[in-house]
Copies of this chain bind each other. A is one copy, B any other.
């Protein structure tokens, strides 16, 4: 069957332990011995059995990444970044999709598969903020996103309030006075939607503009389709609008779609800005202005925190807020 350390040891005329020492890079091996072992490894095409190593060490070198779905560009790009960063730490990434479903989010947290990963990066969407007790898991966990605060786990988040405030202010500075917001979650007390709405309201207040509930467009899921529908509903109410802050780019792109169908000129009649700065934003018609939330930084920080936890760090839960910036493009150029 497969070639094991024993085979290598026999061929090199050393003990298994010495082979192990060579493979793991233990420094105190005589150069000559090391070379002999390495030759035997090459000749036999030996590769360590990672299952055996895992069983022995209690580590697998795998981290989990649980997110709503890869079809959403923001999460695809986040996963891309996480995989790259993890690789620099010698880790590989197992991706699990929750579909933003509460039961599946719980399943992911408590699954047997957690025994296969050294830790988990978890981007919850359905768990409620007061359910932090559910996050009392017995393994290294780092949260991504905004829904859970003051939980028992490390937490890397984007600057929701400040980003939304900057986006809205960006519209104000371009002369918008009747600014709608898309993506509100009614009745929610926490999460991105609440925070981004808060930033929107703060910017209006900064500018001395009134908050008009008629300009708030709810949208449960933040997809292009729901963005298109929310925009259509808003226009159907006959609301007077000259700017739109969409809580993410998918909503914004959906809104652009509706505006195009309705022959509303962007940015002349209505300026539009999104949030996330996904790659699509650069190539929509017109190119979409957006808040760039520091995806790279989030991935880098999250993996770093997780690696520290895996190494045994026991400091209190940390919270990191990533930097953001407004990427101004044609959809707000006026």
A residues apposed to B, CB below 8 Å: 47-52, 54-55, 60-62, 69-71, 73, 76-77, 79-80, 83-84, 92-97, 112-116, 224-225, 228, 253-254, 256-257, 260, 279-280, 282-287
Contact = CB atoms under 8 A, between A and B. Distances in A.
25 contacts: A47-B114, A47-B115, A48-B115, A50-B112, A50-B116, A51-B51, A51-B55, A51-B60, A52-B55, A62-B62, A62-B94, A70-B79, A70-B80, A70-B83, A71-B279, A73-B73, A79-B95, A80-B97, A83-B95, A83-B96, A94-B94, A224-B279, A224-B283, A253-B280, A256-B283
Nearest to A57: B51
Contact of A253 (B73, B77, B113, B283): B283
Contacts of A254: 283
A299 to B, nearest CB: 12
Nearest to A111: B47
Contacts of A257: 283-285, 287
Contacts of A93: 94-95
Nearest to A71: B80
Given A51-B115, A285-B285, 12 more contacts: A47-B112, A51-B55, A54-B54, A62-B62, A70-B80, A70-B83, A71-B76, A83-B97, A224-B279, A225-B282, A228-B283, A284-B285
| Pairs A-B, 3 closest by C-beta atoms | A76-B76, A51-B54, A285-B285
Contact of A260 (B69, B116, B286): B286
A116 B60 CA distance: 9
Contacts of A224: 279-280, 282-283
Nearest to A60: B51
Contacts of A287: 257
Contacts of A284: 257, 284-285
Contacts of A115: 47-51
B97 A84 contact: yes
A278 to B, nearest CB: 9
Contacts of A114: 47
A71 B71 CA distance: 10
